[in-house]
A and B are shown apart, each in its own frame.
Chain A
Amino acid sequence: MSSHPSRRGLLGAAAALALAGPRAAFGFGAPTRVDVAELQLARGTLSRPNAWSRLLLETVQTTSVECTPRAVQLEPDDPELFAHPFAVLVGDGEFPSLGAAAREQLVRYLSYGGFLFVDDTSGVPDSPFDKSVRALIQDCFPTRPLTVLSAEHSVYRSFFLLREPVGRVALHRRLEGISLGSMHPLIYSQDDVSGALDRREDGLDLHACVPGGEIQRREAVKLAINLIMYALTSNYKHDQAHVRQLMQEGRLE
């Protein structure tokens, strides 16, 4: 079909890159590359540095984004949080309310360009973690409730074209978020996306993905990469040039 782009059309320009040889450097050192900050609370949260390292490596291999494949653990009121514009809050249990300083910093972080991915790993509806997350968001953004992201949301097309979001489990198959300006700086999944990414030191996956197995894991990886890309490009994929082109090529309805 002529409506589909040729492989050279999509990546033709990149073909010349191979001839150009390796670049002299990748970013100006770690501080300018993308990494992950894991928010750690007194209880209820998890740290999965291997999951994020895997995501960042997958991102480097799949996209042109330069990443430092590491995760740093920070408390919400740590000013160092502002050195890491991509943060995650992962957990499976109830966590305590944030103090005023931490809450204020979290609001400022999200208001001025930070991005937070919240991942409920419990794999059950109405988990204690879910209740704590919703209470936290109510405290921080009382006028901006969590809403389900529509199928047209940029996060579903920021790099991969995704039909539905899944993680280690596929119970909810949805993402929620709060909007500030033109983007959603906080996105929430209840399907344990980080569980699909997490692995042991020897590289083997830690958790089985149910019910879809490795195909589901692949979709979870794609979703996680899209989250990184969305955090960087926000609603870029809703720019007219992209929408028009994707529709012309029949890849978007």
Chain B
Amino acid sequence: MMDWLTAGGAFGGGKLLFTGEPLVIGLVAVVAVVVFGLAVSGSWRSRLPELVSLLVGLAFVGLVAARPVWLAEGERVEPGRFVVLVDASRSMAVAEPGGQTRFESALALAKRLQATETFHFGGELRSGSPSVADLDGTDIAGALQAVSRRYAGEQLAGIAVISDGIDRGGLIRADAAGARSLDESVLPALGGPLTVYAVGEARAVPDVSITDVVSGSFAFLRAPLTIEVRVERSGLGMESVPVTLTRNGQPAGSGVARFDAEGHGSAVFTLVPDAPGRFVYEASVPVAAEDAVPTNNRMSRVVRVVRDRVRVLQVCGSPSLDQKFLRLFLKEDPGVDLVSFFILRTQSDLRSGFSPDELSLIEFPYRRLFDDDLSTFDLVILQNFDYEPFFERDSTRLLGNIAQYVRDGGALAMVGGDRSFDLGKYGGTPLEEVLPVKLGVQGESVDEAAFAPMLTEAGARHPVTRLLADVAENAALWQRLPPMHGTNLTLGAAPGAGVLLRHPSRKEGGAGLPVLAVRQVGSGRTMALTVDSSWRWSFSEAALGGGNEAYLRFWKSAMRWLVGDPDEQAVVLELPRENVEPDEPLRLTARVRDAGFAAVAGANVVGTVIGPDGEVPLSSPTGDDGEATFLLPTAQRGAHRVKITATSADGAALGSAETVYAVITRDPELDRIGADAATLQALAEATGGRFVAAGTWQEPLRDATAGRTIQDRRESPLWSAPLLALLAASALALSWWLRRQSGQR
């Protein structure tokens, strides 16, 4: 009651402060003087009690306006705090031979220690006692640093760390020779004695784990790719372990990793990627019956295989000016690995009388080229080449090989001349099925008249004929290029082909005959150029002082498009990374373009992500820019395959694409699971603390003198105390009552 009346103040040691605003105090004083002056006017001797009461009342009002506060200050001492840090990383979830997990042991220890404050840590420090051991990383030094910062300047009774000692932070360093030691520089000054409790026993847990699959994030096509699979062993006596490597689920190699004295080993695989793209390489080791952590026995990594050089096969039926300039271009391009075969002599040249021994000719290895080596080429150029005299009875099979090579992802260009297209008798063969033009011309199959090819609408934007970025400048460039001298005749474009250049006057089906046409066939691409004088785009331009840029750009662009440069597919999937961390945001962009390479708006892009735990559907329309974006699932560790198909609004197939990515399967917490008591002991020694081995008990070090001084400061606002208001009101009321008793109003 008294506290209430006095607002809890005015008792004990302290001092009085007035916190009112001087202006307010002055105003109240003036008002009080005026009121009192008015009350005093007239006879005041007979009214002395009334005036005294009034004076007292006004004084209390003035006191309230001055806002008095009673300030009491003091200090008290409390015992020092005992802080416990519990390792809650995933390695603590490992069960010991007795069946109890390390984490359960740690919780029992923590309970016995009766901590003032309890924290848990993995890669970072968190308040409270943990309920489950599922944190990433183990940073013992980081946890101690956080505690040091938190209790800076305070004397702690003690600190206890409970851990299996498998530190993934910076506590342990290795020198050049690989020797491990404690890095004392990362340890903070602690506010109290440290006791380190070890849980788990080293090498008590039987486990074989893949700790890393080491390779670059990309490799070169047909160049050796080295993949090193690193393994570790604990609690098992095996000297080696078989390692299996797969690529996209198919066997890619097997080897043996031999363990050294410390239980480390590795198996090295040297592969030669035979196709560009993204591939999932997964390494695995067998799971033994007693293996404590089967999930760390396999690991995936995605490697992107890129071309460093485009391997081109140029087969020409006759040395010619057209062949000369194309070879010069291909040979001078450092990005091209060129294999040329030119037919320098035919049966009709035998009458010249020169002996074969005088000649520098070799046999045309057509069987090896088109049977065995075909798949090693990115691009096959048949330049004015007639197959029939060479392939003979193997014609159907060898041409079928080339067609299948295209369907499987290869690239083919047929260049015109008197041995090409229908003049080369390709009509009705398996090869015609993949060409961008229809063959079977009856009668005249060549037009020798000069003409200027016309750029089509598709050609204006197609990468093969888009020699300049500006559309108008590009069209002007094509118009000024020198004319072509003659062309093979065809029956027009094949279904699905894009026509980029047309003949200005020769028509088929109402449209100008294709001079340059391209086509996607299966996974591969083909191009038909029905002239044999494209070299004039180089040489005649040079005559005008313009160099040969147009010719070089044309063939460079054609080559890039034909070999399926990833940027020049109808459906392109773009991933910023191929290997991501769990739950890391990963956005996939699908770009859809039509045969003329125009962005397709409103296309339906559907697909699936096939991951370790099943399939996730994807579906989105493309925007005006022809792009659709998807947020890919990254919660589950392991390889994921994305399959995308795009169709136009009317249901026509536009193309499909696939890619892969991996949510890294490496869990550092499970790389090594053998408890590391030595690290913990070294930590205790480095800090002058106590080490308590696993399965034993000692009291923690406690500093009995540790304490913390609590500073007390108490402010009591007297001006708001009810007693003061009561006194003021009572005095004013008494004055008013006496005034009325004396007959005044």
Interface residues of A (CB under 8 A from B): 4-5, 7, 9-18, 20, 23-29, 31-34, 58, 61-66, 79, 81-83, 85, 105, 108-109, 111-114, 157-161, 181-183, 222, 229, 231-237, 239, 241-242, 245-246, 249, 251-252
Contact = CB atoms under 8 A, between A and B. Distances in A.
Interface in B393-433: 416-419, 423
Contact of A239 (B322, B340, B344, B351): B340
Contacts of B417: 27-28
Interface residues of B, number: 70
B657 to A, nearest CB: 36
A13 B690 CA distance: 89
Contacts of A235: 331
B384 to A, nearest CB: 9
Given A28-B486, A160-B360, A11 B350 contact: yes
A5 B357 CA distance: 9
Contacts of B341: 241
Main secondary structure of the interface of B (DSSP, over half): mixed
B358 A11 contact: no
- The residue among A9, A83, A232, A234 with the most chain B CB atoms within 10 A of its own CB is A232
Interface in B313-354: 317-325, 327-328, 331-332, 338-352, 354
Nearest to B319: A232
A252 B359 CA distance: 11
Contacts of A14: 343, 345-350, 389
A16 B388 contact: yes
B390 interface: yes
Between B324, B341, B360, B386, the greatest number of chain A beta carbons within 10 A of the residue's beta carbon is seen for B360
A63 B344 CA distance: 6
A34 B332 contact: no
A229 to B, nearest CB: 6
Given A28-B446, A62-B345, A62-B354, A34 B321 contact: yes
Contacts of A245: 362-363
Given A32-B532, A82-B540, A233-B340, 20 more contacts: A5-B362, A10-B361, A14-B348, A18-B347, A20-B388, A28-B417, A28-B448, A32-B320, A34-B320, A34-B321, A63-B319, A63-B344, A64-B343, A65-B318, A83-B539, A85-B535, A161-B358, A233-B324, A239-B338, A249-B362
A5 B361 CA distance: 10
28 contacts: A5-B356, A10-B356, A10-B361, A13-B366, A14-B347, A16-B347, A24-B418, A24-B446, A25-B423, A28-B485, A28-B531, A31-B533, A64-B345, A85-B321, A108-B543, A108-B545, A113-B324, A113-B542, A114-B539, A159-B361, A160-B354, A183-B328, A234-B324, A234-B328, A234-B331, A239-B340, A241-B362, A252-B360
B445 interface: yes
A144 to B, nearest CB: 17
A235 B388 CA distance: 27
A242 B324 contact: no
Pairs A-B, 4 closest by C-beta atoms:
A28-B486, A82-B543, A13-B390, A14-B347
Contacts of A66: 318, 320, 418
Nearest to A245: B362
B348 A18 contact: yes
B327 A28 contact: no
